[in-house]
Amino acid sequence: MKLLRYGPAGQEKPGVLDANGQVRSLSALVDDIGGTSLLPERLAHLRSLDLSSLPLVPGVPQQDLRLGPCVAHVGKCICIGLNYADHAAESGMPVPPEPVVFGKWTSALSGPDDAVHIPRGSLKTDWEVELAVVIGQGGSHIAEADAMQHVAGYCVMNDVSERDFQLNRSGTWDKGKGCDSFGPLGPWLVTADEVPNPQALSLWLEVDGHRYQNGSTATMVYQVPFLISYLSRFMSLQPGDVISTGTPPGVGMGQKPPVYLRAGQTMRLGVEGLGIQTQRVVQG
């Protein structure tokens, strides 16, 4: 299933994409796409439905029908840094002996095609296409062998980053990662049953038609089952939590010389089987 949220910002309603690429309403069945609606038994019930019997939502998704972030009321958005060895190299940093963990404020999450705002005073706003994992069944101290049973599904995230705020302003990375609009999420949450191997997905990103990132989740340093198990040692994972798993090489900071986003540019990015995002860059 491809679960989604449609409508004006802050007023999104739950939906599902049918076989014809049209949106069907889930409002009579779930309050929203997030939290306990992502538990395994709830997803199994939705999968059993005849989608053609559900109300049709007018409009074409990502054209005249806006999509919001595909998960609502995210409790935690946990990000993994330097999780591709070649990206670590382009950043001039060693491959970490354990996953680098940081948070992206949930106020940064936005729709897959919403504008990305360059923060005031920013000269180094950058892009990062990533595979995001959404937790269904929560838990703590999850065994790596059991980790995939805790996944509700997967989606695309653009982990937009302000490099000066992140690296040169003292303290943690978080202040360069959580600016408003820095977390486009979606277009849809693809349930885990439709993604047999999350470590075999291509992912890519273009700016104004120039492809900067072209990688594969096969080259992750720390793969999805390990990340879920590892994170669950330090915090309980809860339904609807989002784990963004790192980016392949090709970010702006890694270009020679570095290239950063400017107002008026357009980013386009995707992960194989999970959809495509398009964002216009504007001055905040």
Asked, for residue 193, whether it belongs to a domain, the answer is yes
Is the pLDDT at 248 greater than 80, yes or no? Answer: yes
Asked, for residue 213, whether it belongs to a domain, the answer is yes
* d(C-alpha 14, C-alpha 3), whole Å: 8
Asked, for residue 7, whether it belongs to a domain, the answer is no
CA distances from 7 to 17, 99, 153 (A): 14, 36, 22
| Token reading at 91 | 């950043």
Asked, for residue 264, whether it belongs to a domain, the answer is yes
pLDDT of residue 89: 81
Per the DSSP assignment, residues forming a β-bridge with 25 are 15
CA 97 to chain centre: 24
Strands 183-184 and 202-207: unpaired
10 contact partners, CB below 8 Å, separation of at least 6? none
pLDDT of residue 262: 98
For 49-78, write each residue's pLDDT tens digit: 999 999 999 999 999 999 999 999 999 999
Asked, for residue 15, whether it belongs to a domain, the answer is no
pLDDT of residue 121: 93
Asked, for residue 19, whether it belongs to a domain, the answer is no
Asked, for residue 130, whether it belongs to a domain, the answer is yes
pLDDT of residue 78: 98
* d(C-alpha 208, C-alpha 206), whole Å: 6
Q: Work out how many domains the chain is built from and give that number.
A: 1
- E strand spans, the chain: 2-6, 13-17, 23-25, 77-81, 100-103, 109-110, 116-118, 125-126, 129-135, 151-158, 161-162, 183-184, 189-191, 202-207, 210-216, 242-244, 266-271, 275-283
pLDDT of residue 128: 98
pLDDT of residue 88: 77
Which range of residues forms the domain containing residue 236? 71-283
For 198-208, write each residue's pLDDT tens digit: 999 999 999 99
120 contact partners, CB below 8 Å, separation of at least 6? 284
Computed over every residue of the chain, the mean pLDDT equals: 96
**Residue 9: count of CB within 10 angstroms of its CB:** 11
Task: Round the CA-based radius of gyration of the chain to a whole number and report it.
Answer: 18
Asked, for residue 206, whether it belongs to a domain, the answer is yes
pLDDT of residue 93: 79
CATH code of the domain in which 247 resides: 3.90.850.10
Confidence of residue 85 (pLDDT cuts 50, 70, 90): confident
For 35-46, write each residue's pLDDT tens digit: 999 999 999 999
pLDDT of residue 91: 80
